[in-house]
Amino acid sequence: MPARSLDQIRRLAKNRGFIFAGSAPYGGLGSFWDYGPLGVEMLNHVKRSWWQNVVYNRDDVEGVDCAILMNRKVWQHSGHEATFSDPLVDCKSCRARFRADHLVTDAILARETEGENVHRKLRPIIELFPVSLKAAGLQLYAKLRDDEQDAEREANRRLREFQDKVSNGEKTSLDEFFGSLANIPGMPNVSQYAQLFFFVRRHPNELRSALLKLGKVSCPKCQKADWTDARNFNLMFQSHVGPVEANKGTEEELASRVYLRPETAQGIFMNFKNVLESSRRKVPFGIAQIGKAFRNEITPGNFTFRTREFEQMELEFFIKPPQFLQPGEKTDEQWHEEWVEQRYNWWLGLGIDKSRIRKRAQTREELAHYSKATVDLEYLFPGSLGFGEIEGIANRTDYDLSAHSKDVPEDALKRLKLEKNADSVENLDYFDQDAKARYFPWVIEPSCGATRAMLAFLCEAYNEELVKPPAEADIAALKTEIDAAIKNAEKKKKEAEKEKDAAQRKHDPVAIEAFIRDLTEATTRLPQSLAEIDGMLKDHAGAQNLELVKKLSPKVSKLAEDHTRLVLKLHPSLAPVKLAIFPLKKNEPRIVDEARRIKHQFQHLFRTVYDDSAGIGKLYRRQDEIGTPLCITVDFQTLEDNTVTLRDRDTMQQIRVPMEKLKHEVFHRLGMPV
């Protein structure tokens, strides 16, 4: 079973040194994370494995590592300065700030989930994607789009009428608008909220502001419905090159302004000609880059899923435009498909189960301004996050190289909706010897987040296993104590609710409610959930300062320690530590020397650790928790017959291996060439 919640991963990541909240001694900084001793190892392995898949295993890809800061004109001509933004609104009452699109769609979906009017057409879709209602909305949306073109046109006309009325302050309501849709021939019979979702996706700005103005969406913090107008907020972090103190927007300020790159792709486009010429490549060929990217996300969260600083692994693969293809050469669509398959298989090869990864073609409305088609690879993250994008494979056509070039034919500019670039001094084009023609190559772009990939691999690998079931009487006694702790928590929740001044409350009633809900559910899965309950009692936000929980926690810990194990079943190539060596007796010099000698034999090849700080059972547990595939124990028998115990993380099987065969056996089990 993979992780059931991101909290399990967050807890493990902190306790074992994978990922820490950044700037902790100063209370942190919104959604910036530091990678600890094991985190840096694992992240490096994720990146190395990607590089292996995309660069080394192919004959047609080169790598680069570009500067993070680039000339501001790069971002002007890529379209980011004008369009890389999210719509923001502020609650006038409590001043909280939200993304307008999330606010509106979440409000719609919340009503759907509450059971208002969920139509039979939507139900099967929701059931298919129980954890991601957003995906359900998108599916419905795609269905509506394809089937109901005429109805949609008429509905759009009525939407414009409705919007005009709202803007002019005329009397109208959402009910009136949806009522007017019901008699359109061919309009699918779906719930109002499903229709609403459809229109929000199709006409985001118009409907969003109408909904907010009509007071249909209340503030998640203070429940009032009094909003500012939505305005666009650019997601790029700004800085300046040189000692500039000019006011924002002045010529001097603009001349020195730079952005922290929001994607690594543009650095690759800037170097298209450099790489082409220095490496004597011919189209088709690709350029890969791994590096930091920064986005001032309005709603970061879900641990490291959406952060403001992250790492990307991107490939720009340059291909022939359709009009220059020779018979038998691959089309852009075929290249796109090939890359989707290659990348999908990379995820499967590293242990992601087929049931938790899917390919999803973006709908036309979702596509970025440069994309002809994009297929997202989505992973089923635990909890409310559900299916989330881990990689996008886009067909960017000739948009990028044309956008950064000085002499692009008029018809191409028109087709790509580009202005003539008067800033560029180059043409990022290519002379094709075979076709005897000059053109701007098209681009297929697989773009993957390294930090988000690591989160997906951690979720997939996380396993809490019952090694030997506890006695039934122990479980029954535990359930009785949990019942008592829940009753006590309910009492504390009520007391906290009675206290009107939030600052005076000893407990947070919302957090306690979540704790009661989670604990009640986990208790139904005992004894399998023993380790999960152990973690919950220690770390759940709603479990803090509850007396009975404090009393119960050590007992559960003891039971969990005796009967369960937490194991990260990471693919060996991703495991931060590959091999751990233990001496059975730490005060027996001959055993210790031998164990240290074995460590030296392997440590220059990969991360190998020596540990003698606990009993063997505990040492195995510690390595299981961080995903170490193999452990070696040196004991008295080693001194007699020169064999060691080799223990496998997943099966817990132990075999005796003669010293002369040890390297071969370890390499073989780690999947390394022997």
Q: Tokens in use for 153? A: 């046109």
Minimum CB separation of residue 108 from ligand GAP in Å reads 24
- Cβ proximity to ligand GAP: between 206 and 263 the closer is 263
Residue 542: φ, ψ to 5°: -85, -5
Minimum CB separation of residue 535 from ligand GAP in Å reads 25
- Cβ proximity to ligand GAP: between 421 and 447 the closer is 447
Minimum CB separation of residue 423 from ligand GAP in Å reads 21
- Cβ proximity to ligand GAP: between 314 and 332 the closer is 314
Q: Tokens in use for 662? A: 């040890």
Q: In this chain, which of 46, 212, 448, 461 binds ligand GAP, going by CB under 6 A?
A: 448
Minimum CB separation of residue 355 from ligand GAP in Å reads 20
Minimum CB separation of residue 654 from ligand GAP in Å reads 39
- Cβ proximity to ligand GAP: between 451 and 633 the closer is 451
* Omega cis (within 30) before 327: no
- Cβ proximity to ligand GAP: between 201 and 306 the closer is 306
564 touching ligand GAP, by CB under 6 A: no
* Per-residue contact string for residues 223-262; x = within reach of ligand GAP by CB under 6 A: ----------------------------------------
Q: Which residues contact 429 (CB under 8 A, 6 or more apart)?
A: 401, 405, 438, 439, 440, 441
Looking at 52-92, list the stretches that DSSP marks H as alpha helix, in order from N- to C-terminal side: 72-78, 80-83
Handedness of CA 213, 219, 223, 228 (dihedral sign): negative
Minimum CB separation of residue 133 from ligand GAP in Å reads 20
Size of the site for ligand GAP (CB under 6 A): 18
Minimum CB separation of residue 392 from ligand GAP in Å reads 4
Distance CA 590, CA 148 (A): 79
- Cβ proximity to ligand GAP: between 268 and 559 the closer is 268
Q: In this chain, which of 87, 137, 382, 449 binds ligand GAP, going by CB under 6 A?
A: 449
* Omega cis (within 30) before 527: yes
- Cβ proximity to ligand GAP: between 402 and 451 the closer is 451
Minimum CB separation of residue 317 from ligand GAP in Å reads 13
Residue 522: φ, ψ to 5°: -65, -30
Minimum CB separation of residue 294 from ligand GAP in Å reads 9
Q: b vs e for 191-211, b when ≥16 Cβ sit within 10 Å of the residue's Cβ?
A: bbbbbbbbbbbbbbebbbbbb
- Window 364 to 393, contacts with ligand GAP (CB under 6 A): 389-392
Q: Which residues contact 451 (CB under 8 A, 6 or more apart)?
A: 33, 43, 304, 307, 310, 311
Distance CA 11, CA 129 (A): 27
* Per-residue contact string for residues 418-447; x = within reach of ligand GAP by CB under 6 A: -----------------------------x
Minimum CB separation of residue 33 from ligand GAP in Å reads 10
395 touching ligand GAP, by CB under 6 A: no
- Cβ proximity to ligand GAP: between 50 and 162 the closer is 50
Strand duo 97-99 + 285-294: pairing: unpaired
Minimum CB separation of residue 307 from ligand GAP in Å reads 4
Minimum CB separation of residue 443 from ligand GAP in Å reads 10
- Cβ proximity to ligand GAP: between 408 and 444 the closer is 444
Q: Tokens in use for 426? A: 């180059």
Region from 113-121, 219-227, 449-457, 572-580 binding ligand GAP, contact rule CB under 6 A? 449-457
Which residue's CB atom is positioned nearest to ligand GAP? 449
Strand duo 630-634 + 579-583: pairing: parallel
Minimum CB separation of residue 131 from ligand GAP in Å reads 18
Q: Longest C-alpha distance within the chain, in Å?
A: 94
* Per-residue contact string for residues 276-315; x = within reach of ligand GAP by CB under 6 A: -------------------x-x--------xx--x-x-x-
Distance CA 402, CA 415 (A): 11
- Cβ proximity to ligand GAP: between 235 and 413 the closer is 235
Q: Which residues contact 349 (CB under 8 A, 6 or more apart)?
A: 571
Minimum CB separation of residue 230 from ligand GAP in Å reads 21
Which is nearest to 30 in space by CA: 41, 20, 22?
22
265 touching ligand GAP, by CB under 6 A: yes
Q: Which residues contact 190 (CB under 8 A, 6 or more apart)?
A: 119, 121, 122, 140, 144
Q: Tokens in use for 575? A: 């495991």
Distance CA 466, CA 561 (A): 10
Strand duo 61-64 + 285-294: pairing: parallel
To 10 degrees, the CA torsion angle through 75, 81, 87, 88? Answer: 100
Q: In this chain, which of 7, 152, 263, 429 binds ligand GAP, going by CB under 6 A?
A: 263
- Cβ proximity to ligand GAP: between 163 and 266 the closer is 266
Paired residues of 544 in beta bridges:
none
Distance CA 98, CA 90 (A): 6
Q: In this chain, which of 77, 404, 452, 540 binds ligand GAP, going by CB under 6 A?
A: 452
Residues near ligand GAP, by CB under 6 A: 263, 265, 295, 297, 306-307, 310, 312, 314, 389-392, 447-449, 451-452
